[in-house]
Structure 1
């Protein structure tokens, strides 16, 4: 296994530790156990173009597998190609994306360098943001940049912590963003050959209809996470609990019967342009 840290220490302890299983295991390994109720509950979703192939071995070791249309398979492979790209500070494209993120966040403040104490203002752990990308890879930077460009008000509200009654010890914005990318990849099982959860299968239908679905879901999730943070009156050391609560809420919303696209998610209404 490979440890991929999305965020690190400070304030007396580690911020968020994330663990990622190697691709060879996730994409080619055997299915793990899940509840039999999930298999039984999948029937309602078959009408949305998702066919279920359930490989039953034992009642305690059954996990549904969903066949993909050729279009869905192609979209998943493109997304997986993005997920596979590690951030590399020597690549000009990666450098340019990082600079673009800075200018989107602080348009009136000149960046002094890709390694600078200025990055702490955005919520990176230290002066070199590249050390924080281990958990999410280059796609986590792309997610942040998408958020800044398409939902600038929501992006800035979260960056500057401008909404709600904030705690004295807040979560670091950028590191939280990397963790959200990782959480979505894990929750949707996006490194598997085909989806093995209802949430993942539902998302891939949305992805085949909207090529920026992952980036859009990222923005929705970031706003939802912040709402959970405020409603739980959370502080720095509560971040893991907030992320778990966010994941549960997002899973519930993805399985609502009247949700046929990401814009139908109740939490989509939290975003403002």
Structure 2
């Protein structure tokens, strides 16, 4: 009975808030002479704050046309804007800014949805050692990170030198598929100095006063504490989860003037790889067994930062010099 009453109270509370919200919208339009979309576009600066408000307004509108606008194909954005202007009885010649602002935001919304589909497709594509393109990417990753050490064979313990778990990296890509490899290669190629520094750091002993003989006997779990490639696949999973949950909208709507792309996603990965490295060093873990705890804490930290609609993860390179900045 208590649960029923609670549910009933929540239901009527929802109805009350919804009715109150619509009443306020109606009154505000009568007072200002502008619909909600106009007020958002004229009072909010471009970026996440504006686009998130527009997305919410469209999603919770009682108009089917406005609701469908959040799932419009990029090629149909201009027509949808014309339909919205007609529905709202807004003349484009006297309100030119509205069309421009709506177009930018709708392209961001459609682009985010398209990017999620593209990333999900890569994540679901398994690494295929019989696929020449997949093999070329993997060998390119090795040559970028270990340019002076030719591989002795395709299946070799040398892969552990860049942070894979065994003799064949193929098995490590099972969780993130081709997406994990593409992210690692993008980072290694586009921010090479930072990637090489991270790899070197990850292999250093935790205590600098170790003798050369002691260091040669040191296993990876006694070094700074992680395997570079495996961490890259883990951070790929973290960035994917941010994208899938919608948390990354704040960042992408702030850095992509129109359509977010795979490059934006990969830049975000490159940045968070380095941020995680710094965070790991600051935490000074005893061993690799603390990885899950530190990763979870790091995830919460990033989520908290992304709760601010004015916040962006700066995408420019070299990413090693980046900080979170306010727009």
**TM over 0.5: same fold?**
yes
- Give the deviation of 1:117 after TM superposition: 1.0
User: Residue 270 of structure 2 corresponds to which residue in structure 1?
Assistant: 219
Q: Which one has more relative contact order, counting CA pairs under 8 Å at least 6 apart?
A: 1
Distance 1:257 1:141 in 2: 31
Aligned residues: 211
Q: Secondary structure at the match of 2:141?
A: helix
Residue segments in structure 2 that go unaligned for 5+ positions in a row:
1-13, 15-39, 62-68, 72-105, 208-221
Larger-Rg structure: 2
User: Residue 242 of structure 1 corresponds to which residue in structure 2?
Assistant: 294
User: Residue 117 of structure 1 corresponds to which residue in structure 2?
Assistant: 157
Q: Residues 130 and 200 from structure 1, CA distance in 2 versus in 1: closer, same or farther, beyond 3 angstroms?
A: same
User: Residue 86 of structure 1 corresponds to which residue in structure 2?
Assistant: 126
Report the structure, 1 or 2, having the larger helix content. Answer: 2
Distance 2:60 2:321 in 1: 35
User: Residue 232 of structure 2 corresponds to which residue in structure 1?
Assistant: 177
Residue segments in structure 1 that go unaligned for 5+ positions in a row:
1-35, 37-42, 56-65, 190-195
Distance 2:260 2:113 in 1: 12
TM-score, normalising length: structure 2: 0.57
Distance 2:49 2:322 in 1: 29
Distance 2:240 2:125 in 1: 13
Contact 2:268 2:315 in 1 (8 A): no
Q: Residues 239 and 111 from structure 1, CA distance in 2 versus in 1: closer, same or farther, beyond 3 angstroms?
A: same
Distance 1:268 1:160 in 2: 14
User: Residue 250 of structure 2 corresponds to which residue in structure 1?
Assistant: 202
Distance 2:118 2:137 in 1: 19
User: Residue 229 of structure 1 corresponds to which residue in structure 2?
Assistant: 280
Residue 194 of structure 2 corresponds to residue 154 of structure 1: yes
Q: Residues 270 and 114 from structure 1, CA distance in 2 versus in 1: closer, same or farther, beyond 3 angstroms?
A: farther
- Indicate the larger mover: 75-84 or 158-167: 158-167
Q: Secondary structure at the match of 1:161?
A: helix
- Give the deviation of 1:114 after TM superposition: 2.1
Which of 249, 258, 262 aligns to 2:310? It is 258
After superposition, the CA RMSD in angstroms is 3.1
Which of 128, 134, 141 aligns to 1:101? It is 141
Deviations 1:118-139 (A, max 9, x none): 1111111110110111111111
Q: Residues 75 and 163 from structure 1, CA distance in 2 versus in 1: closer, same or farther, beyond 3 angstroms?
A: same
